[in-house]
Amino acid sequence: MHELGYAVEIIRTLEDFMKENNLSVIHEVTLTVGEATGIVPRFMYECWPAAIEDSEMIKDCKLVIDFVTAMGECHNCGTQFKVAESKNKCPVCGCEDYDMRTGYEFEISEIKGH
C-alpha cells in the first residue's frame, strides 16, 4: 500500500506550508487524485488517521479526495473516452493510439486552516 507513503509526504508538505504561512492548525486538506496514478482513494482514507496521529498541528485534519477519471482522446477519430472503462482503446473505432487528457493528477488543491 503506497498510499501511506504519499500520506506521510503530504503531512510533511502541510507542516512546511503551516510554518511558511504562520498557521496554527489545518482543518481540512483536499487532494486531486487521478485514476491513472494508481492511488486508491479508499486506501488513502484508511491510512490517513495513522499518518496524522503524531502531528500536533494537523492531528484533526480531515482528508477530502476529488477523484479524476482517466480520459483519453483517440488519435484516429478524436473521440474522448474513459480509458479504464474502454480497456485502453477507443470505443468508437477501436484504435489503441490515444493521448491521456486527464487521470495523472496528484496535487493538494485546497487547504483550510488558520
How far apart are alpha carbons 28 and 104 in whole angstroms?
23
- pTM assigned to the model: 0.88
Query: What are the chain's domains?
Result: 3-69+103-113 (3.30.2320.50)
Q: Is the pLDDT confidence value at 6 over 70?
A: yes
Percent with pLDDT over 90 in the chain: 94
pLDDT at 1: 58
Report the run of H or E that residue 26 belongs to, with start and end.
strand 26-34
- Amino acid letter, 8: V
How far apart are alpha carbons 100 and 49 in whole angstroms?
33
HSE, side-chain direction, 13 A CA sphere, residue 57: 18
What is the torsional sign of CA 36, 46, 25, 15?
negative
